[in-house]
Each structure stands twice: as structure tokens, then as C-alpha cells.
Structure 1
């Protein structure tokens, strides 16, 4: 591999969908974290096995837009922490010195500038 090149993981949502993880709107990839966290770890390990040097936490959909405002208030922090622990464990188990990147999701729907509310943000 060329010096200075870092290989990132791929799209977590697509990988979870391919694996048959629980997946529907509006929860999207957060549903796998909620209902089948072991599949999230499996997806991370698949990316690492494919050569990724960085895995990204499965926290992109952990926002009120996807998981609902009530669930976000009650479970949001715990789910974000779980996403981080799963990614870190997969990286540590892999033994190749992989890093973990946190995913900072948009506050509102992706590709939906019409949903932007400056006061809510």
C-alpha cells in the first residue's frame, strides 16, 4: 500500500442491509443497533477484514429525525455509547491497530435542507 493512504470502512447502512439486519424507515441503520447490535459488530469486522484501517461508529441515524424525539431523549446517549463500544471492540479484536471514527449525524434529515430549523439546531 502507498505511504500516506488510509483506508476507511464503507457505508454501514448498506452493509447492514446486505447482511439482513433489521432495517426500515424511519430508524434506518439505528434499528440494527437497537435490535441486533451483534450485526453491527459483524459489519465492522467485515470492513476490517476487507482492509479498512478505520471503522465509523453506527451512530449516523441516532437523531430525533430517525429514532424519534422521545427515544432520542431517553436512549440517545446510551445508544451512541453502545455504537462506540461496538466499533472499538471490533477494532481491538482485529488486532491491526485500527482506529475508530465517530459519526456526527445531521440534526435533521439528510438531503433535506427544507427541514432545517435554526432555532432547533
Structure 2
């Protein structure tokens, strides 16, 4: 078992961050043979937005939980690591949402300080 969930997330984030294709090649090669049987990983891998990545990672975590053998320490570690990555991704998404909302406030303040001139 490999950490395919983390590899798929790394590729998706790498695409958003405009990383060089060769920086993501190892993960793509690792994922290629298993994508047909793991549609949730394909969703995560191909996500172009943070909400899309979150949904894909939530589905990947659900898959891991549903297939938990219960006695495999590596699988438990993978569950914890994937859950931790999901929490971090949710935090990033929430921070960007706050930033997005702050832009409205900043825009309003700017116009209060410098009202638009007519004519």
C-alpha cells in the first residue's frame, strides 16, 4: 500500500502552484496504475480548486476508512496523515474565504476614504 492520497493531493496543489511538470512526475507515475480503480483519487488528482481538492480528499479518506483492515499500523498511519492533510486543506480554504470577504470590506473602506468623484 502506498500513500496515493497524498500523491494525488501533491499533484493537484502543484498544478495550482504552477510547479514544473517534472516536479510532479514521480507522483503521476505512482498513481497511473491505480487510477482506474480509484475514481476518488482521479477526482482529487484533477481538482483545479481548493473546494474540489477538499471534496476529493474527503472521498479518498472515506475510501480509506471503508477499507480499514483494523490491524495494520501503516493503514492507521495513512488514515491519520490523510485526515491531517484534510484538516490543513480545510484551514487553507477557510483562510482564503476570509481573505475574499475582507476584500469587500477593504473596498468599502477605500470608497469611504476616497469617495468617487462624479463628472
TM range (shorter): 0.3 to 0.5
TM-score scaled by length of structure 1: 0.33
Structure (1 or 2) with the greater helix fraction: 2
Flag the structure with more relative contact order, 1 or 2, with Cα contacts below 8 A and sequence separation at least 6. Answer: 1
Of the two, which has the highest radius of gyration? 2
Higher strand proportion (structure 1 or 2)? 1
